[in-house]
């Protein structure tokens, strides 16, 4: 049997028999679709890397199993938390695609009313909320989530919204997978949400990430050979550790593209310097302090967008902008001077 995605004959046979390897050769996480025991036969890895890969695979399998639990309605939701660049979103998306269930991913800013409408528009879907931290800082949004997740996971749950001039509701029979880099807040509302979801804390060690990077390099990347990829991976690991920072799989894929640009003759700077400067910028970039004027300008933009979206409906504009009444009217006067 030929090598399959860089695995040895023994590992490939085990993975093929289990039907666990998908067809996307160059995507992060593809190599981890084998069972832990499949890694044992990878003769191109050290014994310690093989053990670390098996450990990383078990952690990814926990994510997959929790996603399956939501997709098959064993529970209403899963909250997945962990540091960036450890294959959280990719693993969730690939598992949902594999399960062939209706799902939709939202990863931009969302107001409480936006969440209400979004769930109303997708009442049967697995809704993936990817790094929308603002939702979980918004009490109204958290209350909407509580309603959508409260009750029997196999039955629709009624979600209502009542205001002075509006009383609307819908039934949500789908599930929610929330992905975040930060844990849930420690307050009564967040605790109530936590009691309704299963939680997964995904914190692989740097050694596990490094082992996966070395394993992944065996596949090659586009026209880069496995040897070239291994050179890039070893460089990224060494430089990141020299900066005393955590490994990130996104840094690996960006470094592959730096190497490709240099190999194509489209860069005079050696690829190592391209990678090194990129890592320095990512890891040690000086944060720009946010000023009061920045906040005001953002509020004006939110009000302007809300007015355009709900012309003539002040209540919905205010909800969409997610501002207090006094702040809303102040910003409205500023963008629509008399």
- Quote the CATH superfamily of domain 9-201: P-loop containing nucleotide triphosphate hydrolases (3.40.50.300)
Mean pLDDT, residues 156-179? 90
Examine the pLDDT at 46 and tell me if it is beyond 60: yes
Examine the pLDDT at 90 and tell me if it is beyond 60: yes
- Which carries the bigger pLDDT value, residue 179 or residue 313? 179
- Kindly state the percentage of the chain with pLDDT values over 90: 52
Examine the pLDDT at 137 and tell me if it is beyond 90: no
3-state secondary structure of 201: strand
Choose among 234, 266, 267: nearest CA to 252. Answer: 234
- pLDDT bin (cut points 50, 70, 90) of residue 37 is very low
Examine the pLDDT at 133 and tell me if it is beyond 60: yes
- Which carries the bigger pLDDT value, residue 3 or residue 74? 74
- Which carries the bigger pLDDT value, residue 181 or residue 52? 52
Neighbours of 290 (CB within 10 A): 9
Question: Could you report the per-residue pLDDT of 236-270, keeping only the tens digit for each?
Answer: 999 999 888 899 999 999 999 999 999 999 999 99
Question: Could you report the per-residue pLDDT of 276-324, keeping only the tens digit for each?
Answer: 998 886 555 544 455 677 678 778 888 887 888 788 888 888 887 888 8
- Which carries the bigger pLDDT value, residue 185 or residue 31? 185
Which element (helix H / strand E) includes 199?
Answer: strand 198-201
- Which carries the bigger pLDDT value, residue 165 or residue 80? 80
Q: Alpha-carbon distance 4 to 313, whole Å?
A: 58
Examine the pLDDT at 55 and tell me if it is beyond 50: yes
**Cα–Cα separations (whole angstroms), residue 97 to 67, 118, 126, 328:** 11, 20, 11, 41
What is the rounded average pLDDT for all residues in the chain?
A: 82
What pLDDT score was predicted for residue 184? 83
- Kindly state the percentage of the chain with pLDDT values over 70: 83
Are 34 and 57 in contact by the 8 Å Cβ rule? The answer is yes
Burial class (CB in 10 A: 0-12, 13-18, 19+), 238: exposed
Examine the pLDDT at 89 and tell me if it is beyond 80: yes
Are 208 and 53 in contact by the 8 Å Cβ rule? The answer is yes
- Which carries the bigger pLDDT value, residue 17 or residue 314? 314
């Amino acid at each position: 049997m030929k090598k399959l995605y860089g695995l040895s004959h023994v590992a490939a046979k085990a993975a093929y028999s289990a039907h666990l390897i998908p067809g996307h050769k160059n995507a992060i996480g593809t190599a981890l679709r084998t069972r832990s025991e499949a890694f044992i036969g990878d003769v191109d890895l050290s014994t310690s890397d093989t053990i670390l890969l098996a450990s990383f695979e078990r952690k990814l399998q926990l994510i997959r199993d929790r996603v399956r639990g939501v997709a098959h309605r064993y529970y209403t939701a899963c909250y997945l938390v962990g540091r960036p660049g450890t294959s959280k979103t990719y693993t969730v998306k690939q598992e949902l695609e594999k399960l062939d269930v209706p799902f939709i991913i939202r990863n931009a800013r969302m107001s409480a009313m936006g969440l209400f409408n979004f769930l109303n528009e997708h009442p049967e879907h697995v809704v993936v909320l990817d790094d929308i931290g603002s939702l979980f800082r918004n009490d109204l949004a958290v209350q909407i989530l509580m309603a959508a997740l409260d009750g029997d996971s196999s039955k629709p749950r009624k979600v209502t919204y009542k205001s002075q001039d509006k009383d609307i509701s819908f039934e949500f029979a789908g599930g929610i997978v929330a992905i975040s880099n930060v844990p849930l807040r420690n307050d009564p509302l967040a605790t109530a949400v936590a009691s309704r979801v299963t939680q997964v804390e995904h914190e692989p060690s740097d050694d596990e990430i490094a082992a996966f990077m070395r394993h992944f390099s065996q596949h090659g990347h586009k026209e880069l050979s496995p040897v070239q990829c291994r050179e890039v991976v070893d460089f990224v690991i060494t430089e990141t550790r020299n900066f005393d920072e955590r490994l990130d799989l996104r840094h690996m894929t960006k470094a592959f593209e730096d190497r490709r640009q240099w190999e194509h003759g489209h860069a005079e700077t050696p690829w190592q310097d391209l990678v090194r400067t990129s890592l320095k910028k990512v890891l040690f970039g000086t944060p720009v302090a946010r000023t009061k004027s920045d906040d005001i300008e953002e509020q004006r933009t939110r009000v302007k967008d809300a007015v355009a979206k709900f012309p003539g409906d002040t209540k919905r504009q205010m909800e969409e902008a997610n501002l207090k009444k006094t702040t809303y009217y102040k910003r409205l006067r500023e963008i629509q001077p008399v």
